[in-house]
Amino acid sequence: MNKLHLKIVTPEKEIFDGEVDEVLVTTEQGEIGILPNHENLMSKIVAGELRYKDGNQTKVMVTGSGLLQVVNNTLSVLTDLVENESEIDVKAAEEARNRAQAALEQTLSDEEYAETIAILEKSLAKIRVKRRHHT
């Protein structure tokens, strides 16, 4: 069976580089699935869930914002956050969400507002992914 080459990269390091059967990722338009030999594609991803399947194993991660690109049967995911579902600390994510929500009540510069919204989106994504998969 054909495989899809998947690369997941953050500014700090390469997270994954290998062959998979399928990838599901959250974009601005919703969740999309990418199978081997998918046509070329570029899309913006948003804070949310990324799942990839290899055989009967499924790996679940939370991502931040970024880009994905499919070229020649290689899917590259470039994102500012990747965290395995099993490593998500819900309590810390809830605390970050609460701090971000409180900060939004203050007068913020445009830059501070954008940073706060990004923190809030990532925290909510972590909480959703962890609660959906309860491991």
Which string of DSSP letters, residue by residue, matches the chain?
---EEEEEE-SS-EEEEEEESEEEEEETTEEEEE-TTPPPEEEEEEEEEEEEEETTEEEEEEE-SEEEEEETTEEEEEES-EEEGGG--HHHHHHHHHHHHHHHTS---HHHHHHHHHHHHHHHHHHHHHHHH--
The predicted model gives 82-95 an average pLDDT of 80
User: 0.85 cut: is pTM over it?
Assistant: no
- The number of domains in the chain is 2
* 81 and 91 belong to one structural domain: no
Residue 2 clears pLDDT 80, i.e. is over it = yes
Q: Which two tokens stand for residue 36?
A: 């081997």
How many whole angstroms separate alpha carbon 48 and alpha carbon 95?
18
Q: What confidence score (pLDDT) does residue 85 get?
A: 78
pLDDT in tens, 39-75: 999 999 999 999 999 989 999 999 999 999 999 999 9
Q: Give 107 or 73, the one with higher predicted confidence.
A: 73
* 55 and 73 belong to one structural domain: yes
One-letter identity of residue 76: S
- Domain of 43 in residue numbering reads as 4-85
CATH code of 44's domain: 2.60.15.10
How many whole angstroms separate alpha carbon 70 and alpha carbon 87?
28
Q: Give 88 or 59, the one with higher predicted confidence.
A: 59
* 81 and 99 belong to one structural domain: no
* 112 and 55 belong to one structural domain: no
Report CA dihedral (97, 103, 105, 110) to the nearest 10 degrees.
-110
* 63 and 94 belong to one structural domain: no
pLDDT band at 1 (very low <50, low <70, confident <90, very high): low
